[in-house]
Structure 1
Amino acid sequence: MVAPTFNHTAQLRRHQQILIWVQSLQVMELSFIQRMVSNLKI
């Protein structure tokens, strides 16, 4: 019974890491788009 629960927590942790990674990518993309828009305005 111990192994499945450990595997489950490992999967949850990996899922959280992926979520954080995706969020950071979206933030980078937003700042990049804002920079491009500001460059176009100039």
Structure 2
Amino acid sequence: MEDIEVLEVDLDKIPNLITSGEIDHSLVISAFYLLDQFEK
């Protein structure tokens, strides 16, 4: 069994979390990239 931690953060904080390496999973980064492109 895998324990998964879920945290809610504001979307404007996501780029800093990616840059700092706190978010480092490639599928999650890709999902946030696509969300950013969709919202433009």
TM-score calculated relative to the size of structure 2: 0.40
- Structure number with higher relative contact order (C-alpha < 8 Å, ≥ 6 residues apart): 2
Select the structure that is richer in helix. 1
User: Larger Cα Rg: Structure 1 or Structure 2?
Assistant: 1
TM-score calculated relative to the size of structure 1: 0.38
